[in-house]
Copies of this chain bind each other. A is one copy, B any other.
């Protein structure tokens, strides 16, 4: 975007959020973070593409907010304290209204995640957003996908399938359910909340964790593979919201809960003696096998796809 780039970045993206770790934010060749001694740095990057991860006519604030939350959710899954984010924005044209709304979405997500915007890049091209998030954790003390052990309890936060249902009814005028349920499901898709506080609480307690971004079965499969174990999910135990059960029949509900993505809840494993955190549910066990077993699901087509 050549020279306009500087104007854009400065006008909309210069001062969003703050953190005591930031020595240099937006405006130099690189951002500078100084963590407290004895801490490691955690970094993750996530791309959202127009027409793939969001509809081209989505509201700019929702696009920005969701892209940041998706990235922040990876920090939550590691039990990290949020420290900062970089935003690489590729957009077809520099429209001031669009950018103002997009910046609103950044601000909302920044406030809720406590991730200050400390750098980025703005380029011209097809609408794409890459968010890089940085967090910190004490040396040797962070959650990974690889620590699950046979016998651990498999647990998940919140409820699953809501975001998939929210996406399905996003543009639907008549859903046949109470407007509060509609609002809840839509907000679960449009305004997800990365489970950062829960992640930090689980740090040092859970044996492994992953965020549920691609769907429970897929993400459980990733966790199982990374840990070299199997997981057994009790489908009857999977937590479902009142709104989801009001909207869909049991088969559709279970499909969304098992395979719907974008809920950004945490899937984690707890040793037997550990206390279950609030708003979390035991949904199965870690086994000494491989892959994911889920009552009544393992014979479905596509099982191979999430086994790994």
Hey, which bits of chain A sit against chain B, CB under 8 A? 2-3, 6, 23-24, 27-35, 37, 40-53, 74-75, 77-78, 80, 84, 86-88, 90, 118-121, 123-126, 128, 130, 132-135, 137, 139, 142, 144-146, 209-211, 214, 218, 222, 226, 305-306, 308
Cβ contact within 8 Å between B51 and A125: yes
User: In the complex, which of the residues A2, A48, A121, A123 has the most CB atoms of chain B within 10 Å of its own CB atom?
Assistant: A121
Cβ contact within 8 Å between A132 and B43: yes
Cβ contact within 8 Å between B90 and A49: yes
In the bound complex, CA of A85 to CA of B52 (Å): 25
Q: 7 closest pairs, A vs B, by CB? A: A49-B125, A30-B44, A126-B126, A29-B77, A130-B130, A29-B74, A30-B42
Q: Which residue of B lies closest to A215 (CB)?
A: B2
Cβ contact within 8 Å between B125 and A28: no
- Of B3, B47, B119, B214, which is within 8 A of A130 by CB? B47
In the bound complex, CA of A33 to CA of B130 (Å): 20
Contact partners of A47 in chain B: CB under 8 A: 88, 90, 121, 123, 128, 130
Cβ contact within 8 Å between A32 and B142: yes
Q: Which residue of B lies closest to A214 (CB)?
A: B2
Cβ contact within 8 Å between A29 and B145: yes
In the bound complex, CA of A52 to CA of B128 (Å): 14
In the bound complex, CA of A189 to CA of B123 (Å): 20
Contact partners of A133 in chain B: CB under 8 A: 30
Cβ contact within 8 Å between A41 and B51: no
In the bound complex, CA of A47 to CA of B45 (Å): 13
Cβ contact within 8 Å between A218 and B3: yes
Known: A33-B43, A45-B132. A28 touches B123 (CB 8 A): no
Cβ contact within 8 Å between B86 and A24: no
